[in-house]
A and B are shown apart, each in its own frame.
Chain A
Amino acid sequence: MIDQGPRDAGQARELAKARAALYRLLSRVFVAKPTEELLRGLKDKEMLDALAAYEVVFGPDFIAAAEEQQARELAVEYTRLFFGPGPHIAPFESVFVRGEGEDRPRLWGQATVEVANFYREAGLEMAEGVTPDHLSLEFEAMAALAQAEADKRVEGDAESAEQLLAMQDRFCREHLLRWVPALCREVDRSSESSFYRNMALLAQNQVRTQCGENDLIC
C-alpha cells in the first residue's frame, strides 16, 4: 500500500533530520578510510538493528573483530578499491555516467559540470580543491539540503522546507540514482570486505528510497 506522506509536521522534521544524519554518515564512509571509532559506532546494537531494517547485515566475524586491526586492514582496502594502483573504482559520477556528446564517461566531464552547476543553483558552496561529483560530496550536498529542510521545519517554514525536499529528490534522481547502483555492483564484485559491500548497499537502498523506488510506510 502506498502511503501518502508523513503523518504530521513533527514526523516530517524527524525524517529530515534522519536523512541528514544518514547522508552525513555515508559521506564520511566514502571520503576516507574508517577510524576505530567509526567501526565501533557501526557495531553498536542500535545501529545494527537499524541497519537490518535496510537488509544491511554484518556477520559475526565483522562484529567480533578487534577494531584496531580492522581499521588497518580497511585502510588498505579503501586505497586499493578507490585509488589503485591498478584497476580501481574511481568514486566519481563522471566515471560512471556518459554526458551528452561524450563518447564514453569522462572523469571531470559533463556530469561533473552539471553537479557543480546544481550546487551553485542550490546556493551550496564547495570547499576549495574538492571535486564536485565525488560520492562523498554528493552525499554531503544531500545532507546539507536535508539539514536545511529540518531547520526550516523547526522554524515552521513549511513552504521552504518542501522546496528543499524537492531539491533533494531532484538531485537524487538526476544524479545519485544514475550511478550509485552501478557503483554498488562494482564494489560488490571487487571487494572481499563486508564493510564496503554493506556500505555500498546502504547507499543504494537510501538513494532508491529518496527517489521513491522504495516505500516508506508508517
Chain B
Amino acid sequence: MRTISRRDFIKLGVASAAVMAVESQLNPIAYAAEQLIEGGRSVNRTSGLPRSFLPSTCMQCPAGCGIIGYVEESHLVKIGGNTKNLSNQGTLCARGQAGINAVYDPERLLKPLKRVGARGDGRESGAWEEIEWDQAMEEVTGALTSLKSEGGSRKLVFLTEDRFEDDLGTRFTHAFGSPNAIGSLSVFGSNKAVANQITWGADGDMPDVANSKFILVFGANPLESNPQYVGMARRFINGLSSNQAKVVVFDVRLTNTSMMSNQLHYVNPGTMGLLILTMANVIMQEGLFKRSFIEKWTNITPEELAGNLTQYTPERAEAETGVEAAVIRATATEFATTEPATTFTDATLSSHISGVQNERAAMLLSIITGNIDLRGGLCLPRKFDLVEPEPAPPVPAPSALSNPPQFPLASQQVGVGTFKQIKDLVEPVGVLITHGVNPVYSNPDGGMVEDVLRDETLIPYHVAITPFFTETAEYADIILPETTYLEDYNIEVRSSPELVPMVGLRQPVIQPLKETRSFYDIATELATKVGGGMEKYFDFSSVDEYLAARISRIDGLTQIGGLDYLKQHGAWYDPRSRPDYGAYQKAGFNTPSGKIEVKSQQLAEVGAPILPTYQPLTFMGQLSERDMVLTIYDTALQTDAYTANCMWLSEILHDNPVWINPKTAEEMGIEDGDTVKLTRPSNVGEAKERSVTTTAYLTEGIHPKVVAMANGVGHTAFGRIAQAETIPYKEPPKVLRDPNTELVWWSERGIYKGKGVNPKPIVPISLDPVGGGEAWNDMVVTVAKL
C-alpha cells in the first residue's frame, strides 16, 4: 500500500490538465458522455428523447451479424451491434452501421413502377410511371396466371438472392410449378463449396483460427472480406493477439490480412495450386504426415499419395510460382510440425477454371497433417437446419436451367450461366422475377445480360422486386418496391465461426417506409391471387406462423419461447454447447465412403482428375510482355452491387483505380494518376464489352504481372451517390432533396475521385467444369496509357 496526499493528487490533476490543454493532436477517440442516467435507459444526447431498441440481423453482406436498431419517434437513428449474436458479439463493420443510409436512401422506390417507354431506359427518362399496388399486383398476377393456364408453369424463372436466405422465393417458384429458382452463389464462388462437398461431405469449412498456432492463408483476406466477415475477422485477430499464432500469406496483392501476418509471399498468378501441392509433397517426402489419420480417415494410403505427389518438386514450383524452393520447404515443414495448424482459403483460390482442384489441394494440407476438425484446425461447418413448413410444395423435375446437365456435381446451381443459356434458347422463359439480385452489375459479361434482358422475345415479362432502381431493374416491365432488410422478417442461419450453431432473426426495426412491402407480403398475396393450388402453400395466418414453423426443430430454442425469444434477443445459441470437435469420429464423414475422399470417385465419373491435381492455366505460357492478370478484389466497405448508394460508404470508397506495380508501370511508361485502358485480348474468351478505362495507382503492394481493381463501385444506375452525381435529376420524379446527395464531392474524376468503373462486364463467362463457378481470377488484360 502506498500513500499519497490529496494535495499532491490535486496537483497531479492540475498538471495533467495543463498537458492535455496544449496537447494539440488529441486523438479523437470521441467518447461522448451521454446524458448520464441510471437504470439502462437510453436517451438522445442532444434532444433528451427516449430511444427504443430492437435486435435484428444485418444484411449488408452475407455474414448476417446481430444488430440493434435504435429508434426515436419511429425514426431509425443508429445501428449498433447485438452482443447476444454469437458470431459478431457486438462488433459491426462500416457497412452494418451504414444500413441507415439504405433505409433512408432518398432514391428508394416507394411506389410500384410500370414501364411505359423502352426496356432499359433509365429512371429519369420518362419511361416509367408510378402505379398503385392494386394495379401492379393485378398485372403480375395476370402474367403468371396466363403462363400457368397455357401449361407453361416451368417457364417461370426466379433469380433469388443468396445473401438473403431466399427460401421463400424458392418455395414460391416450386409452388407455382417451376424448378427454376436459381441462386447467385456460382457468381460469387460455388467452386469452393463443391470441392468441400466432394471431399468431406459438407459444402464449406471453418478454420478455427482463434485457436490455431499456425495459419496458412492462400489468397484469402479475412480481415477485409469473408463470408462470415466480422465474426471471422474477430476470431482471426483473436488468434493473432491472444494466441500469438503465426500467419503466412501467399497472395498476389498486399491485403489487410497480409499486413497483419508474419510473412507475405507473392505467387505468380494462377499457380497457387502448384505451390500447395508442392508443400504437400514436401510433407509426405519428409515423413511429417500423420499416418494414423490418413489410414483411418481417408480413402488413400500415404504411399499412394506420396507417389502421386513426387511430380511436384520445390525446384519446379520455384520456376513456375516464383516462390523460392527454400521458402516452400520451410513453410511446409513449419505447417506440419506446429500443432494445431490450419489452412485458410476463401472464394479467391477457387475462382479459377481449376478452382475445385485448387481448393481440394489446400484441404489436402490440413488432411495429411491430421488437422481436421480439431481445436485450432480446419473444421467442418456447424449450422442449424431450418424446416420447410408443411405442406411443402413438391420440387418440380429439374430443368436445364435449374440443374445444367454438364455440372452434375454443382448442387449449388450454376446461375452465372443462366443468361447465356436463355440467350442460347436452352429453355424458354415466360416470366422472369428478379428478387434483390443485380446480375447486370454482378455477373461476368454484363453486356450480354443486358442484351438478353432487353430482348422481349427472350424475356417476355420481367418483374423486379427490389428496394432500389438498380441496373437490372432498369430492364423490368414492372418494379415492386420491396422493403429493405431493416423493415422485414426472416430467419437467418449461417455457419458460425464460433463452431456452435446459432440462429438469428431479422425483424422490422422500423415500419415499412411509405408504400413499400415486405417480400413475405408480396409472395403471399401473389400466391393467393394466382391460386390454382399454389395458395395452399402460403396459407399462413401471419408471418409469425411461417417463421415459427421454420425454427420448430431447434429444440433448445422452442423450449424457451421460440420466436418470442428471438424477437426479444435477436439471436439464440445453446449457451451450454461447446464446439463438438471430432464429431466425425462417431458418425464418419457425409461422403459415399464415410471417409475424406482424397480420391474422388465422383470426380472420376465426370472425367475430372481423381486426385488433387495441378492444372496449369492454358493461357499462362502464352502471356505476352504486355499481358497482365486482372484480379477484382472485395473490400470491407462495399458489398458487390448492394451498398454503393450508402453515403457513409461511398464517401470512403467510390473509386477503384487500378493497382500496378511501379516496375511494370515503368516498362509501360505509365505514371501514377495516368488514365489507362484495360483491354481483354481478342483470343481470351467472349464478352460483349472488351475494355474499361480507369486511373493508374502505382504500388509495390502488387505482383508485377497482376493488376487489381476494387469491386462494388462504378454504377450506372442505383442512385446519385452510387453514380457520383451532384446534379439533381431533371424534373425530379418525386425524388426527395436530400442533404447527403448534395454532398457528393467526388463527382469530378481525378485521383481518388470519380465514381470508379465496374470491370466485371469485360470478364467472359468462364466456368470451372466441375464446380460451375466463375473463374474470375483467370482474367487477362493488356494495359495501355491513354
Chain A residues within CB distance 8 Å of chain B:
6, 11, 14-15, 17-22, 24-25, 27-28, 31-32, 35, 37-38, 40-42, 44, 46-47, 49-51, 53-55, 84-88, 90, 92, 94-95, 101, 104-109, 112-113, 116-117, 120-130, 132, 136-137, 140-141, 143-145, 147-148, 163-164, 205, 208-209, 213-218
Contacts and interface: CB of A to CB of B under 8 A. Distances in A.
B262 A106 contact: no
B397 interface: no
B23 interface: yes
B578 to A, nearest CB: 9
Contacts of A19: 13
B737 interface: no
Given A50-B15, A217-B3, A125 B29 contact: no
A141 B13 CA distance: 17
B203 to A, nearest CB: 28
B683 interface: no
Nearest to A164: B36
B227 interface: no
A140 B90 contact: no
Interface residues of B, number: 61
A171 to B, nearest CB: 13
B242 A106 contact: yes
B29 A27 contact: yes
Name the residue in B10, B28, B37, B261 with the highest tally of chain A Cβ atoms < 10 Å from its Cβ.
B10
A54 B20 contact: no
18 contacts: A14-B10, A18-B9, A20-B13, A28-B27, A37-B22, A41-B18, A51-B12, A85-B260, A90-B242, A104-B242, A124-B31, A124-B34, A124-B36, A125-B45, A148-B36, A209-B4, A214-B3, A216-B3
Contacts of A125: 32-34, 45
Interface stretch (B233-241, B333-341, B409-417, B600-608): B233-241
Given A28-B23, A38-B19, A215-B2, A136 B29 contact: yes
Contacts of A136: 29
Contacts of B29: 27, 31, 127, 130, 136-137, 140
Nearest to B26: A28
Name the residue in B1, B20, B34, B261 with the highest tally of chain A Cβ atoms < 10 Å from its Cβ.
B20
A18 B3 contact: no
Name the residue in B3, B13, B17, B238 with the highest tally of chain A Cβ atoms < 10 Å from its Cβ.
B13
Contacts of B42: 120, 123
A19 B12 CA distance: 9
A61 B261 CA distance: 35
Contacts of A141: 31
A74 to B, nearest CB: 13
Contacts of A24: 16-17, 20
B19 A216 contact: no
A50 B12 CA distance: 5
Interface in B465-495: none
Contacts of A217: 3-6
B25 interface: yes
A41 B24 CA distance: 11
Nearest to B78: A128
Nearest to A127: B30
B692 to A, nearest CB: 32
A50 B39 CA distance: 38
A28 B28 CA distance: 9
Nearest to A122: B36
Given A90-B242, A116-B83, A130-B29, A49 B13 contact: no
B30 A218 contact: no
Nearest to B98: A128
A84 B242 CA distance: 12
Contacts of A145: 36
Given A125-B32, A164-B36, A31 B14 contact: no
Given A21-B13, A41-B23, A123-B35, A87 B2 contact: no
A53 B8 contact: yes
B89 interface: yes
Contacts of A143: 31
B196 interface: no
Contact of B27 (A25, A32, A92, A101): A32
B19 A47 contact: yes
B33 A144 contact: yes
B748 to A, nearest CB: 28
Contacts of A105: 242
Contact of B4 (A40, A42, A88, A214): A214
B38 interface: yes
B94 A163 contact: no
B13 A147 contact: no
B83 A117 contact: yes
Interface string B253-278: 00000001110000000000000000
Nearest to B17: A21
B210 interface: yes
Nearest to B32: A125
A205 B9 CA distance: 12
B99 to A, nearest CB: 13
B178 interface: no
A87 B244 contact: yes
A172 B4 CA distance: 18
Nearest to A50: B12
Interface in B34-71: 34-43, 45
A212 B644 CA distance: 53
A128 B91 CA distance: 10
A168 B244 CA distance: 33
Contacts of A14: 10, 13
Contacts of A129: 94, 97
Contacts of A35: 23-25
B11 A53 contact: yes
A21 B90 contact: no
B220 to A, nearest CB: 19
Name the residue in A20, A28, A94, A214 with the highest tally of chain B Cβ atoms < 10 Å from its Cβ.
A28
Name the residue in B26, B35, B43 with the highest tally of chain A Cβ atoms < 10 Å from its Cβ.
B26
A112 B12 contact: no
A55 B34 CA distance: 35
Contacts of B15: 44, 46-47, 50-51
A6 B242 contact: no
A112 B23 contact: no
A21 B9 contact: no
Interface in B78-103: 83, 89-91, 94, 97
A190 B5 CA distance: 31
Contacts of A85: 260-262
A30 B327 CA distance: 37
Contacts of B237: 107-108
A53 B4 CA distance: 7
